[in-house]
């Protein structure tokens, strides 16, 4: 039969049939699940715990997790080139910083996982003692180290030993440089081609027979393991959920602990949902809402928000109702309840403005113009909110209080209320915060300059009696990250936080 | 003249050849023995029982076969054109075809990755088929390197076949195409087999481009070399050796079957 078929047909047809069969065989038994998997670019050093955690997560939540392993630099390059992926988990935090510099992750989307410490690994049949640094760098020892350019452990080792003036003594021994830290372990423990080496403790821990020595000279040679949400993720909520799973004490934590990681960022059980209450000045609402929603998902907490004029909030607190966190519109109100809270941190500032309709139809250019006859002025309530209290102090400082008071038609406990009134035509001018004016195109504002009390400072503090102080502290730190700063500044607030804040550690 | 060695007169000659060549054979045997004695049957069986490694074996076998077939599809026409014809730019094409052989495999993988991030690459992935970090990328990475070897082999094969028989066929009324299919291709079957086995074997050992372009994702793009890399990466040397031996067994079985089928009727098998 085949003799009657022309050779080209036989060749092409036959190979095409064979190809089709092979492709069918390849895809035959694949999981028909079409849902988008959660993609994690993961350092190979994290493989064992992450595979176990991912397997359990897939089983419990029926959501596929696809982990792409490789050396930290390789997975960073892959993320950079493809711009695809949901999570980035390198072996050490220097790669997270690199990723942030390249715009692949936001610094506010970085989560601590654990820590690794450097230890000495000794060949199983090593004949001499290995107790001190001198024993390690003894003349007869063949020393193995991971590549300095590529491996985090050697980079950190060199840095720390240079500080301790020990690096030269190690370099003079002409150590053998191997590809990565796993190769060092293999060479010492399995293949025995070198006598001693320096590896991360988590590499050696799973091997009960490994001979490990901790030297005090290596105490500062550590790596922080962090996981970050990729900027281009299309499954942010799922990514956060998975990170929570890794850190939950009943889920991912045991795997990390078993692998030998130190300082693991443990959180409560996966299903536990902590509740905290925050009282915040009304003007802070636009800046806080999105950040708090994000925080709720990250930490699996429920944040009950109460926004109001600070005068009212302080009155509530004085009746006994102290929230977990208080974010005041001005330090003067925080001072009134300072005894209930830990030392406050100032996050932002907000300047008083003379707000008018666009085009300034009544030509109000400075504070003195508020005394013009027939003008309808709106101000904050002097007792109920910081806005009102600061406005009063400002008028007094300028000697205008009595003259302007005659024109005040509306007093409200929030700047938003005054702005709404102004926009609706019920007022000609209102004294409000910059952040109240910024979102709207149909009103404009003139800042009140030269009066110190015209700039409000917004401090935040955690209650001394909060049952969830750690969660509250993390919320505070979350609000101090660069991403939070962008939100505040976009809304017209000034930024008061001086130091750069990363995700806070629990220890 | 008989090919059998004449022991009395030629033995020093054959002995010296055997000694020189035997060094390399002994090296290979020594390496394999070292691996064999480093691992245990339990490690081997544990590796075979693992779901991930079973998938890795399946993907390796199938992707290598697909790659080898595709390699022949390009190697036969290219090899024939380079062997039989002169065309403008032939030397450039010839040089280009050597590039996948001389470039480090990692560079191939990186180049493929970058290619699919260009507008054309992205268009292809969005409208035709997902490639990067999916199964097709494994085949493409293997093909990029293996095809170069197949082309070389087929070129040499066609060069060694005298054009005379083709020319005779054409004088008897065949077209060039008919002469090719009915005269040249049957004579080239050993070369085809060599090209197939070479590209299959090369694909099996391909690691660098796959790691970069396809990633090392379990139960998706993990092939046997990647498994060795991942096991080594966590210090499981015994498991890595076991999988390496598994690769050797798989390769030997497949190559033996292919060669046996190919040499059937030749008098050798």
pLDDT of B124-137, one tens digit each?
988 998 898 889 99
Cα of A503 to nearest chain B Cα, Å: 29
Based on the domain organization, do A171 and A284 belong to the same domain? Answer: no
Based on the domain organization, do A130 and A85 belong to the same domain? Answer: no
Q: What is the mean pLDDT of residues A163-175?
A: 92
Residue A492 located in a structural domain: yes
Query: What pLDDT is stored for residue B269 in this prediction?
Result: 41
Tell me, what DSSP letter sits at residue A172? T
Residue A112 burial (CB count, 10 A): 20
Quote the CA–CA distance of B168 and B237 in Å, as a whole number.
Answer: 60
A313: part of which helix (H) or strand (E)?
helix A310-318
Category of A320 on φ-ψ map: left (φ > 0), alpha (ψ -120 to 50) or beta? left
> Quick check: A234 pLDDT over 50?
yes
Based on the domain organization, do A74 and A164 belong to the same domain? Answer: no
Quote the CA–CA distance of A130 and A211 in Å, as a whole number.
Answer: 10
Interchain CB contacts (distance < 8 Å): A and B = 94
Based on the domain organization, do A290 and A230 belong to the same domain? Answer: no
pLDDT of A445-467, one tens digit each?
999 987 777 888 999 999 998 88
- Given CA atoms A169, A170, A175, A179 in this order, what sign does their dihedral have? negative
pLDDT band at B268 (very low <50, low <70, confident <90, very high): very low
Quote the CA–CA distance of A83 and A68 in Å, as a whole number.
Answer: 14
Query: What pLDDT is stored for residue A233 in this prediction?
Result: 92
Taking all residues of chain B, what is their mean pLDDT, rounded to a whole number?
Answer: 87
- pTM score, two decimals? 0.69
3-state secondary structure chain B: CCCCCCHHHHHHHHHHHHHHHHHHHHHHHHHHHHHHHHCCHHHHHHHHHCHHHHHHHHHHHHHHHHHHHHHHHHHHHHHHHHHHCCCCCHHHHHHHHHHHHHCCHHHHHHHHHHHCCCHHHHHHHHHCCCCCCCHHHHHHHHHHHHHHHHHHHHHHHHHHCCCHHHHHHHHCCCCHHHHHHHHHHHHCHHHHHHHHHHHHHHHHHCCHHHHHHCCCECCCCCCHHHHHHHHHHCCCHHHHHHHHHHHHHHHHHHHHHHHHHHHCCCCCC
C-beta separation of A108 from A220 below 8 A: no
Which residues lie across from A115 on neighbouring strands? A224, A262
Residue A266 located in a structural domain: no
Residue A160 located in a structural domain: yes
Contact A7 B177 (CB under 8 A): no
Quote the CA–CA distance of B52 and B227 in Å, as a whole number.
Answer: 9
pLDDT of B164-189, one tens digit each?
989 999 999 989 899 999 999 999 98
Based on the domain organization, do A94 and A129 belong to the same domain? Answer: no
Tell me, what DSSP letter sits at residue A5? S
Contact B230 A68 (CB under 8 A): no
Which residues lie across from A299 on neighbouring strands? none
> Quick check: A503 pLDDT over 60?
no
C-beta separation of A370 from A407 below 8 A: yes
Quote the CA–CA distance of B240 and B225 in Å, as a whole number.
Answer: 9
pLDDT of A275-308, one tens digit each?
899 999 888 988 899 899 888 888 888 998 888 8
Quote the CA–CA distance of A359 and A420 in Å, as a whole number.
Answer: 17
Looking at per-residue confidence, does B133 or B151 come out higher? B151
Query: What pLDDT is stored for residue A199 in this prediction?
Result: 92
Q: Residue B141: CB partners within 8 Å, gap ≥ 6?
A: B108, B109, B112, B206, B209, B210, B213, B214
The answer to which of A15-19, A264-268, A477-481, B121-125 has the lowest mean pLDDT is A264-268
Which alpha helices (H) appear in A176-273, and where do they start and end? 181-185, 201-204, 236-247, 253-259
pLDDT band at A34 (very low <50, low <70, confident <90, very high): low
What value of ipTM does the predicted structure carry? 0.74
> Quick check: A271 pLDDT over 50?
yes
Best residue in A3, A66, A150, A200 for a mutation probing chain B (most B CBs within 10 Å): A66
Share of chain A above pLDDT 70, in %: 96
* Among B187, B109, B193, B92, residue whose Cα is nearest residue B145: B109
Domain membership of residue A149 as a residue range: 115-222
Residue in chain B lying closest to A82 (CA): B117
> Quick check: B267 pLDDT over 70?
no
Q: With contacts defined as CB-CB under 8 Å, which chain B residues touch A7?
A: 181-182, 185
Q: What is the mean pLDDT of residues A352-367?
A: 92
Contact B113 A6 (CB under 8 A): no
Residue A18 located in a structural domain: no
> Quick check: A268 pLDDT over 90?
no
DSSP-derived pairing of the beta strands A87-89 and A222-230: antiparallel
Contact B211 A6 (CB under 8 A): no
C-beta separation of A141 from A110 below 8 A: no
Of the three residues A259, A283, A307, the one that is the final residue of a domain is A259
Q: What is the DSSP string of A31-92?
A: ----SPPEEEEEEGGGHHHHHHHHHHHHHHH---EEEEEE-HHHHHHHHHHH---SEEE-SS
Query: What pLDDT is stored for residue A3 in this prediction?
Result: 60
Q: What is the DSSP string of A451-464?
A: -GGGEEEEEEEEBT
CA distance to A20, A178, A255, A381, per residue, from A462 (Å)? 66, 50, 33, 26
Residue A7 located in a structural domain: no
pLDDT band at B66 (very low <50, low <70, confident <90, very high): very high
Residue A330 located in a structural domain: yes
Between CA B37 and CA A224, with CA B237 as vertex, the angle to 5 degrees is: 165
Of the three residues A235, A259, A283, the one that is the final residue of a domain is A259
Largest CA distance in chain A: 113
Query: What pLDDT is stored for residue A506 in this prediction?
Result: 43
Which alpha helices (H) appear in A406-479, and where do they start and end? 415-424, 434-437, 469-478
> Quick check: A6 pLDDT over 80?
no
Query: What pLDDT is stored for residue B154 in this prediction?
Result: 95
Chain A, 416 to 455: residues with Cβ < 8 Å from chain B are none
Domains of chain B and CATH, by start:
1-38 (no CATH), 41-263 (1.10.3720.10)
Cβ of A82 under 8 Å from any chain B Cβ?
yes
The answer to which of A98-107, A254-263, B39-48 has the lowest mean pLDDT is B39-48
Cα of A495 to nearest chain B Cα, Å: 39
Based on the domain organization, do A99 and A143 belong to the same domain? Answer: no
pLDDT band at A500 (very low <50, low <70, confident <90, very high): low
Q: What is the mean pLDDT of residues A224-236?
A: 91
> Quick check: B56 pLDDT over 60?
yes
Quote the CA–CA distance of A444 and B171 in Å, as a whole number.
Answer: 94
Based on the domain organization, do A339 and A394 belong to the same domain? Answer: yes
Share of chain A above pLDDT 90, in %: 42
Cβ of A53 under 8 Å from any chain B Cβ?
no
Based on the domain organization, do A55 and A197 belong to the same domain? Answer: no
Query: What pLDDT is stored for residue A208 in this prediction?
Result: 85
pLDDT of A422-437, one tens digit each?
998 899 999 999 888 9
Based on the domain organization, do A339 and A401 belong to the same domain? Answer: yes
- CATH of residue A359: 3.40.190.290
- CATH of residue A131: 3.40.190.10
Based on the domain organization, do A120 and A109 belong to the same domain? Answer: no
Query: What pLDDT is stored for residue A82 in this prediction?
Result: 86
Q: What is the mean pLDDT of residues B129-152?
A: 92
pLDDT of B16-37, one tens digit each?
999 999 999 999 999 989 888 8
Quote the CA–CA distance of B56 and B113 in Å, as a whole number.
Answer: 22
Based on the domain organization, do A413 and A326 belong to the same domain? Answer: yes
Chain B residues whose C-beta sits inside 8 Å of any chain A C-beta: 58-59, 62-63, 65-66, 69-70, 72-73, 113-114, 117, 132-133, 135, 177, 181-182, 185, 211-212, 215-218, 220, 230, 232-235, 237-238
Cβ of A159 under 8 Å from any chain B Cβ?
no
Residue A411 located in a structural domain: yes
Q: What is the DSSP string of A121-166?
A: EE-TT--S---SHHHHT-TT--EEEE-TTT-HHHHHHHHHHHHTT-
The answer to which of A127-131, A178-182, A281-285 has the lowest mean pLDDT is A178-182
> Quick check: A507 pLDDT over 50?
no
Quote the CA–CA distance of A362 and A372 in Å, as a whole number.
Answer: 9
pLDDT band at A33 (very low <50, low <70, confident <90, very high): low
Cβ of A488 under 8 Å from any chain B Cβ?
no
Based on the domain organization, do A160 and A173 belong to the same domain? Answer: yes
Query: What pLDDT is stored for residue A49 in this prediction?
Result: 92
pLDDT band at A29 (very low <50, low <70, confident <90, very high): low
C-beta separation of B48 from B246 below 8 A: yes
Residue A13 located in a structural domain: no
Domain total in chain A: 3
What Rg value do the Cα atoms of chain A yield, rounded? 31
Quote the CA–CA distance of B213 and B206 in Å, as a whole number.
Answer: 12
Query: What pLDDT is stored for residue A505 in this prediction?
Result: 46
Which residues lie across from A69 on neighbouring strands? A42
Tell me, what DSSP letter sits at residue A267? B
Q: What is the mean pLDDT of residues B139-151?
A: 95
pLDDT of B206-239, one tens digit each?
988 898 888 877 788 889 998 888 777 766 777 8
* Among A269, A23, A51, A16, residue whose Cα is nearest residue B72: A16
């Amino acid at each position: 039969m085949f003799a009657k078929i022309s050779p080209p047909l036989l060749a092409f047809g036959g190979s095409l049939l064979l190809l089709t069969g092979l492709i069918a065989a390849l895809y035959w038994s694949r999981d028909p699940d079409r849902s988008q998997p959660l993609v994690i670019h993961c350092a190979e050093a994290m493989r064992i715990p992450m595979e176990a955690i991912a397997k359990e997560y897939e089983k419990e939540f029926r959501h596929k997790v696809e982990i792409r392993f490789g050396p930290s630099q390789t997975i960073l390059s892959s993320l950079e080139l493809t711009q695809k992926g949901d999570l980035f988990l390198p072996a050490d935090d220097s790669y997270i910083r690199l990723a942030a510099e390249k715009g692949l992750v936001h610094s506010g989307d970085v989560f601590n996982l654990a820590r690794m410490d450097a230890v000495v690994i000794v060949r199983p049949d090593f004949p001499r003692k290995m107790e001190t640094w001198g024993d390690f760098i003894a003349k007869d020892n063949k020393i193995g180290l991971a590549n300095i350019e590529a491996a985090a452990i050697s980079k950190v080792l060199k840095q720390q030993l240079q500080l301790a003036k020990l690096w030269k003594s190690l370099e003079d021994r002409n150590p053998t440089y191997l590809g990565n830290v796993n190769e060092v372990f293999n060479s010492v423990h399995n293949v025995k081609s070198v006598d001693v080496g320096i590896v991360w403790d988590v590499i050696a821990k799973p091997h009960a027979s490994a001979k490990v020595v901790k030297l005090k000279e290596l105490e500062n040679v550590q790596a922080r393991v962090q996981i970050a949400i990729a900027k281009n993720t299309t499954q942010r909520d799922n990514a956060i959920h998975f990170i929570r799973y890794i850190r939950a004490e009943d889920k991912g934590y045991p795997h990390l602990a078993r692998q030998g990681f130190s300082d693991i960022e443990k959180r409560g059980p996966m299903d536990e949902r902590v509740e905290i209450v925050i009282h915040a000045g009304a003007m802070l609402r636009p800046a806080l809402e999105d950040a708090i929603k994000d925080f709720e998902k990250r930490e699996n907490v429920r944040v009950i928000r109460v926004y109001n004029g600070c005068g009212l909030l302080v009155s509530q607190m004085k009746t006994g109702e102290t929230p977990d966190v208080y974010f005041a519109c001005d330090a003067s109100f925080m001072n009134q309840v300072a005894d209930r809270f830990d030392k406050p941190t100032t996050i932002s500032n907000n300047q008083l403005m003379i707000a008018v309709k666009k085009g300034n139809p009544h030509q109000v250019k400075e504070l003195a113009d508020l005394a013009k006859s027939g003008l309808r002025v709106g101000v904050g309530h002097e007792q109920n909110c910081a806005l009102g209290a600061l406005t009063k102090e400002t008028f007094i400082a300028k000697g205008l209080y009595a003259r302007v008071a005659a024109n005040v038609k509306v007093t409200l406990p929030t700047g938003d209320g005054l702005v709404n009134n102004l926009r609706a035509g019920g007022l000609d001018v209102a004294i409000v915060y910059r952040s109240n004016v910024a979102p709207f195109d149909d009103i404009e504002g003139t800042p009140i300059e030269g009066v110190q009390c015209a700039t409000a400072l917004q401090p935040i503090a955690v209650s001394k009696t909060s049952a969830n102080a750690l969660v509250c502290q993390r919320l505070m730190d979350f609000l101090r990250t660069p991403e939070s700063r962008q939100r505040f500044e976009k809304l017209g607030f000034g930024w008061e936080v001086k130091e750069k804040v990363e995700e806070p550690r629990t220890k | 003249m008989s090919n059998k060695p004449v022991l009395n007169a030629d033995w020093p000659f054959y002995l010296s050849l055997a000694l020189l060549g035997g060094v390399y054979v002994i090296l290979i045997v020594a390496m394999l023995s070292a691996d064999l004695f480093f691992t245990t049957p339990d490690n081997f069986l544990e590796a075979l029982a693992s779901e991930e490694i079973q998938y890795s074996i399946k993907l390796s076998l199938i992707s290598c076969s697909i790659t080898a077939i595709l390699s022949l599809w390009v190697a036969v026409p290219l090899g024939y054109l380079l062997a039989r014809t002169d065309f403008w730019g032939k030397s450039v094409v010839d040089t280009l075809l050597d590039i996948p052989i001389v470039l480090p495999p990692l560079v191939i993988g990186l180049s493929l990755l970058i290619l699919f991030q260009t507008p054309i690459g992205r268009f292809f992935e969005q409208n035709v088929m997902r490639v990067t970090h999916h199964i097709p990328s494994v085949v493409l990475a293997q093909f990029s390197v293996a095809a170069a070897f197949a082309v070389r082999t087929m070129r040499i094969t066609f060069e060694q076949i005298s054009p005379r028989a083709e020319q005779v066929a054409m004088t008897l009324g065949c077209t060039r195409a008919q002469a090719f299919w009915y005269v040249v291709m049957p004579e080239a079957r050993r070369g085809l087999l060599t090209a197939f086995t070479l590209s299959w074997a090369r694909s099996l050992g391909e690691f660098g481009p796959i790691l970069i372009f396809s990633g090392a994702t379990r139960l998706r793009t993990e092939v046997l070399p990647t498994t060795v890399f991942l096991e080594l990466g966590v210090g499981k040397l015994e498991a890595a050796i076991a999988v390496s031996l598994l690769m050797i067994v798989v390769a030997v079985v497949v190559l033996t079957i292919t060669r046996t089928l190919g040499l059937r009727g030749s008098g050798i098998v």
